[in-house]
Amino acid sequence: MRVLFVGDVVAGPGLRAVALHLPDIRRRYDWVIINGENAAGGKGLDRKSYRILREAGADLVTLGNHAWDRKGVYDLIDREPVIRAANYPPGTPGQGWWVLERGGFRLLVFQVMGRVFMGLFDDPFRTADRILEEVPHDAAIVEIHAEATSEKYALGHYLDGRVAAVLGTHTHVPTLDAGFLPRGTAFQSDVGMTGTYNSVIGGDINTFLDRFLTSRPQPFRSAEGAASFLATELVFSGTRVQAISPYRWEEP
């Protein structure tokens, strides 16, 4: 089994990179999972951005802290392969996990949100325990959508040996630590973003500078410019990951 996990797709440039590049490489993978929480103009996921991700080849789209920024997500989350973080309180719309199945192999995928600098969520560690216990699966990929590298590593070690991979998202900056934890779980603290890097995490540079220079909130504006497609490839041997490799493509 080969899985491609595409890092946070940010706004127009990110969607363009996915639409331009993913169809060319799609057949190398059994499954493609994409974080789409910044796809609609940098904040949230709407039907149009979702369709672009799916038509390019996504099997599953994950969300994050911007999950609820677009009203259209409420339709998607009940009908389509779209998941939000699993550690929202009970009763939250949608689903926090998904099982991708092929040839009898059940790949459980779920996302938990970190709590450090992120907000009020249920415990991501115990949420992971509960899902692993309750949902039948052969292998699991866990996405930790979090700000703090410490929290991502703590979750990685907490789940080491129990899941195939723990991949971080949200900071939009790729890390060079893709590898294996001592008990064999593949880990990378951040996959990085698919969008334009001539920006501040995908946002317009001047708008972000104004936030820092004036200490006043500014409306989010996404950056324009050539995009990078960043992802992480997972190659499975049975239920474990045998190889983890960052993947990068640049828009010409």
What is the smallest separation between the CB atom of 95 and Fe ion, expressed in angstroms?
18
Residue 117 vs 212, nearer CB to Fe ion:
117
Report the nearest approach of Fe ion to the CB of residue 214 (Å).
24
- We find the least distance from the C-beta atom of residue 201 to Fe ion, in angstroms, to be 9
Per-residue three-class SS string for the chain? CEEEEECCECHHHHHHHHHHHHHHHHHHCCEEEEECCCCCCCCCCCHHHHHHHHHHCCCEEECCCCCCCCCCHHHHHHHCCEECCCCCCCCCCCCCEEEEEECCEEEEEEEEECCCCCCCCCCHHHHHHHHHHHCCCCEEEEEEECCCHHHHHHHHHHHECCECEEEEECCCCCCCCCEECCCCCEEECCCCCEECCCCECCECHHHHHHHHHHCCCCCCCECCCCCEEEEEEEEEECCEEEEEEEEEEECC
Reply yes or no on whether 21 is catalytic. no
* Shortest Å distance, C-beta 104 to Fe ion: 34
Chain residues in the site for Fe ion (CB under 5 A): 64-65, 170
Nearest residue (CB) to Fe ion, 127 versus 137: 127
Catalytic residue among 66, 137, 145, 170: 66
Nearer to Fe ion, 64 or 124 (CB): 64
- Of 54 and 170, nearer to Fe ion (C-beta) is 170
Catalytic residues, by residue number, are 66
